[in-house]
Chain A
Amino acid sequence: MRTGVSLKKITLIYTPVTSQPRNGSRKFRSPMTYYKDPEKRLRYDQGEIDASGQENPERSFYRAYADTGDGAKYARYEDFADFMDKGDVFADLFRHAGEGQRSHIKMQGANTSYTLQIELLDAANGAKKRITMPDGNVLDVTIPEGVRDRQTIRLKGKGQPGYGGGSPGDAYIEIHIKPHGFYRRKDNNIHITLPITLSEAVLGGKIDVPTIKGKVSMTVPKGSNTGTTLRLKGRGILDAKTKQSGDQYVELQVVLPEEADQTLEDFVSKWAPANSYNPREKLKAL
């Protein structure tokens, strides 16, 4: 809608056919035109002449009809039925006038927006969630597989009801994904830090790894170290557009027994590496 609509145009909506000028009353006038001659000004205000003094063709102002008996079919009252307390004389005035009224203007209902917190696993695998709205209505939301954080889901026709037979608005649900205990999401890939024992690190072996779709078996190569990262191809999150799944990256972390282990102490004290090594080689400052 253009904003530069002239006030003159707007007066079309609401200009009376007859009005008595009252002394000192402020008449509505266009800022562009000011007739000093009160007679001309009145004629301008009434739409009989335009800004340049030209006679306007006689027009039938809507207001002249709206106040007549015929106007009843367009007049609206129901919005004022709650004008004052129920039982009040004003409430009656509008309530009775509104009886038998039909809403004739169709207006689309307002859109509504909500935020919905979901678990990472629900985002990764898809889920159905139910939202209870402030007005008590429930909204069933289908979370698509692979939904991203802050992504908005549109539920067509689930917003505010329409007016006078107009279609309802839409509901917009912004998805907020809660951080998970051990899965971290980067785009469609999943990252996880996986603790392994000293012997698994040194000797290697098959271990179970949790993924978003359930446990899978993974081979830890002999001599793996803390920080070694292995990739489980296709075990990440499905991309809705490309239909390709991301990967899961497993970063190993060697963990010693929590309680002191005498056999381990005895073993390491006797252990002399075949090739001596300095893990701090690169930190020359030490």
Chain B
Amino acid sequence: MMLSFNEVVNAIESLHAQDLNTWIRDGWVLPSGNTKNYQFSEIDVARIQLISELFYECDFDAEAMPVVLNLLDQIYGLRRQLNTLTRAIEVQPTEIRIKISQALTESGRQSPQT
């Protein structure tokens, strides 16, 4: 379900329309459509919600936010690729999967205990 700009601003209590425009301009949020008629998908809305909480409640400012978002997007990029890799491993012969599992256990032992 796609939401319009006004629907998003209304749906998220703390959000100011001015701020959302800035976030779109700075590339923090990537809605489809054009500047006159933005369309926000569910992930866009979830992301705006997250940014709102970080911005209004946790006081991450315009300078810190790109760093946070960039790291976040890197983590999710990594997760996606790890999922891809996991699915690729799942269809490998048992022998190979055991070897991979052993390698992971081994590297777990070597890492320092916290």
Contact = CB atoms under 8 A, between A and B. Distances in A.
Contacts of A64: 46
Given A77-B77, A107-B66, A1 B46 contact: no
Contact of B27 (A70, A75, A77, A164): A164
B40 to A, nearest CB: 11
A80 interface: yes
Interface stretch (A5-13, A223-231, A233-241): A5-13
Interface in A68-125: 68, 70-77, 79-80, 93-94, 97, 103-108
Nearest to B88: A93
B69 A105 contact: yes
Q: Which size bracket describes the interface of A in this complex?
A: 35 or more
Contact of A79 (B26, B30, B58, B74): B74
A65 B63 CA distance: 25
Contacts of A60: 42, 45-46, 49
Contact of B30 (A1, A59, A62, A73): A73
B64 A105 contact: no
A67 interface: yes
A61 B85 CA distance: 24
B30 A12 contact: no
Nearest to A79: B74
A66 interface: yes
A53 interface: no
B84 interface: yes
Interface string A230-262: 000000000000000000000000000000000
Interface in B7-56: 26-28, 30, 41-43, 45-47, 49-50, 53-54
Contact of A80 (B43, B59, B77): B77
A104 B80 CA distance: 18
Nearest to A66: B76
A74 B47 contact: yes
Contact of A77 (B64, B67, B81, B85): B81
A65 B42 contact: yes
Given A75-B77, A105-B28, 19 more contacts: A1-B60, A2-B59, A9-B54, A64-B46, A65-B42, A65-B47, A67-B80, A67-B83, A70-B43, A71-B43, A74-B30, A74-B73, A80-B77, A97-B84, A104-B27, A105-B69, A106-B27, A108-B63, A163-B66
